[in-house]
């Protein structure tokens, strides 16, 4: 097609849904979505594969839907990874440039980043990303792009993300058995940040909180780069599970009640999902909900009770988020506040609850920089769209520097002469 530069696929294999997005980058810089496929996920628990056959089937359904809409065959994709097994740490690498000094080349930066990986990592864990945060040239801190500068000693501060090797390899196996090769494995909150955060927010200091089905993923950005990541083993499925227990209804019905009638703040009215703002003896018309219990009997419950159950769990999630942000030591460095993404971020009133618990500015992430298909601007699709943008705009930057420990079948690294050509553009994208 005329004017098309490349076509990329983002594949979000979440705990509750699989979403495949096919997009293209035109030479004028416009990103167009060609097709999207969404299907329910089975066989995952808190982001970890527990049944390979069911996960393969879920991926296949979503990929086939995306292929039909896009009118093309999906051969490879950028795949998101998350889960409680994900951990991170910060490290530093150093490379000597000689006593007389010389101009710093892209290969020197690559060596410094590789040197930062010389840390003790348990054999059961595998590196997903080694992300440069800042560079130091001969003691001069705050260097963003050292290439071309003269110096005798180059240091780099990196953020290293690791995951359990078995969990990562099982996910890769599921993707490949579904007929899709891996372009790159990307941490999901890092991908979501591509679609949901602005450069100004990253520069000022912001935390992205991605509330998925099985996990809540946190990524903290300061001075334009990522400083801290963590995954909490609690998410939207816990809300549905609480509803199922309190109202004594099957999980699927609890999920429907949450989506259709739920809200995170029970004392404030939100359009068609409004509930009573005060407790009165008479029920407001439309406040009663009919449910079918496990015994098969039809009962009526108040929408207020439903929302109070949701509110209790949402407050707990944000209390855990607040604890983790404080534990990171960066709680005083986030003037841009928190941006919420993920399916549960669509709950009416969730921003108000987050604001009350976290005591900082809150907004729900929206996706506005896409053309083509509509319906992808909600926070539920932030990871899939972010994976697409990661591939389109960063142009395999994780292969330019060794930020992903690749295995056979995980993708092919570029030739050495491509590294120097792509490095400067990669650096400007990732460390503004």
pLDDT in tens, 329-346: 999 999 999 999 999 999
CA separation for the pair 221, 4 (Å, rounded)? 32
Q: What pLDDT shows up at residue 229?
A: 92
Separation CA 403–CA 83 (nearest Å): 19
Question: Which residue is it, tokens 């407050």?
Answer: 315
**Looking at the domain that runs over 236-304, which CATH code has it been given?**
3.90.640.10
Domain 87-163 fold: Dna Ligase; domain 1 (3.30.1490)
Scanning 248-372, the segments in alpha helix (DSSP H) are: 251-261, 303-328, 350-358
C-alpha to C-alpha distances, 14 to 17, 216, 218, 364, 384, nearest whole angstrom: 5, 12, 16, 19, 10
Tokens representing residue 23 in the block: 């997009």
Supply the pLDDT for residue 220. 96
User: Which pLDDT does position 269 carry in this prediction?
Assistant: 62
pLDDT at residue 294, as a whole number:
87
- pLDDT value, residue 408: 31
User: CA-to-CA distance for 334 and 204, rounded, in angstroms?
Assistant: 7
pLDDT number for residue 99: 84
pLDDT in tens, 201-234: 999 999 999 999 989 999 999 998 899 999 999 9
As a whole number of angstroms, the distance between CA 94 and CA 152 comes to 11
**Spatial distance between the Cα atoms of 173 and 163, rounded to a whole number of angstroms:** 15
CA distance 65 to 37: 5
Integer angstrom CA distances of residue 241 from 254, 309, 312, 350: 7, 10, 13, 18
Query: If we measure between CA atoms, which residue out of 11, 182, 191 comes closest to residue 86?
Result: 191
Per-residue pLDDT, 374: 58
* The pLDDT of residue 394: 67
Residue 142: the pLDDT is: 82
Give yes or no for a contact between 211 and 343, defined as CB atoms under 8 angstroms apart.
yes
Q: What pLDDT does 277 receive?
A: 42
Determine the length of the chain. Answer: 432
Say if CB 260 and CB 303 are below 8 A apart: no
CA distance 8 to 199: 23
Give yes or no for a contact between 116 and 92, defined as CB atoms under 8 angstroms apart.
yes
Q: Where are the domains of the chain?
A: 87-163, 236-304
Cβ distance 300 to 289 under 8 Å?
yes
Same fold, 87-163 and 236-304: no
Question: In this predicted structure, what is the pLDDT of residue 311?
Answer: 96
Helices and strands of the chain, counted as H and E runs: 12, 21
Q: Give the per-residue pLDDT at 373.
A: 56
pLDDT at 118: 87
The rounded distance, in Å, linking the Cα atoms of 228 and 341 is 17
Q: Measuring CA to CA, which residue among 165, 175, 190, 126 is closest to residue 397?
A: 190
CA dist 411 → 75, 83, 180, 401 (Å): 12, 22, 11, 14
Reading the block at residue 225, the tokens are 């780069």
How far apart are the C-alpha atoms of 60 and 39, rounded to whole Å? Answer: 9
| Residue 11 φ/ψ region, left for φ over 0, alpha for ψ in the -120 to 50 degree band, beta for the rest | beta
Asked if 404 and 394 count as a contact pair (C-beta separation under 8 A), the reply is: no
| Distance (Å) of CA 410 to CA 79, 131, 406 | 11, 19, 6
Q: Coil, strand, or helix at residue 380?
A: helix
Maximum distance among all Cα pairs of the chain, rounded to whole angstroms: 85
Q: What is the pLDDT along the chain (432 residues), one digit of tens a residue?
A: 444 456 889 999 998 999 999 988 776 667 788 899 999 999 998 889 999 999 999 999 999 999 999 888 999 999 999 988 999 999 999 999 988 888 999 999 999 999 999 888 888 999 999 999 889 999 998 888 899 999 999 999 999 999 999 999 999 999 999 999 999 999 999 999 998 999 999 999 999 999 999 899 999 999 988 999 999 999 999 999 999 999 999 999 999 999 999 999 887 665 544 444 444 434 454 578 888 888 888 889 989 999 999 999 999 999 999 999 999 999 999 999 999 999 999 999 999 999 999 999 999 998 766 665 556 778 889 999 999 988 887 654 443 444 333 333 333 333 334 444 444 444 454 555
């Amino acid at each position: 097609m005329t004017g098309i530069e490349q076509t990329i696929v983002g594949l979000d294999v979440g705990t509750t849904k699989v979403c495949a997005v096919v997009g293209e980058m035109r030479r004028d810089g416009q990103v167009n979505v060609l097709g999207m496929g969404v299907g329910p996920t089975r066989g995952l628990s808190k982001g970890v594969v527990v049944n390979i056959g069911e996960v393969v089937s879920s991926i296949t359904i979503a990929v086939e839907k995306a292929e039909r809409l896009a009118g093309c065959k999906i051969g490879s994709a950028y795949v998101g990874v998350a889960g409680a097994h994900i951990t991170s740490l910060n490290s530093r690498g150093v490379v000597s440039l000689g006593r007389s000094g010389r101009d710093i080349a892209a290969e020197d930066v690559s060596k410094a980043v590789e040197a930062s990986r010389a840390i003790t990592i348990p054999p059961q864990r595998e590196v997903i990303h080694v992300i440069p945060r800042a560079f130091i040239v001969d003691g001069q801190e705050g260097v963003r792009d050292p290439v071309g500068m003269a110096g005798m000693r180059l240091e780099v501060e990196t953020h290293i993300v690791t995951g359990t090797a078995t969990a990562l390899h099982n996910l890769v196996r599921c993707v490949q058995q579904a007929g899709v090769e891996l372009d790159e494995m990307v941490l999901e909150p890092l991908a979501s940040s591509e679609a949901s955060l602005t450069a100004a927010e990253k520069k000022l200091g912001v935390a992205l909180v991605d509330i998925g089905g099985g996990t809540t993923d946190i990524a903290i950005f300061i001075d334009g780069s990522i400083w801290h990541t963590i995954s909490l083993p609690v998410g939207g499925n816990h809300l549905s599970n609480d509803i199922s227990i309190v109202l004594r209804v099957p999980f699927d019905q609890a999920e429907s009640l949450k989506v259709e009638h739920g809200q995170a703040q029970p004392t404030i009215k939100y359009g068609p999902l409004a509930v009573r703002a005060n407790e009165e003896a008479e029920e407001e018309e439309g406040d009663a909900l009919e449910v079918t219990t496990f015994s098969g009997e039809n009962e009526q419950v108040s929408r207020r009770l439903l929302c109070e159950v949701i509110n209790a769990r949402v407050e707990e999630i944000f209390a855990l988020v607040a604890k983790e942000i404080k534990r990171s030591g960066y709680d005083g460095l986030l003037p841009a506040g928190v941006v919420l993404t993920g399916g549960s971020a669509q709950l009416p009133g969730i921003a108000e609850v987050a604001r009350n618990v976290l005591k900082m500015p809150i907004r729900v992430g929206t996706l506005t920089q896409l053309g083509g298909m509509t319906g992808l601007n909600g926070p539920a699709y932030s990871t899939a769209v972010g994976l697409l943008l990661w591939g389109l705009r960063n142009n395999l930057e994780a292969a330019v520097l060794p930020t992903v420990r690749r295995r056979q079948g995980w993708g092919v690294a570029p030739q050495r002469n491509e590294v120097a050509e792509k490095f400067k553009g990669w650096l400007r994208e990732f460390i503004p």
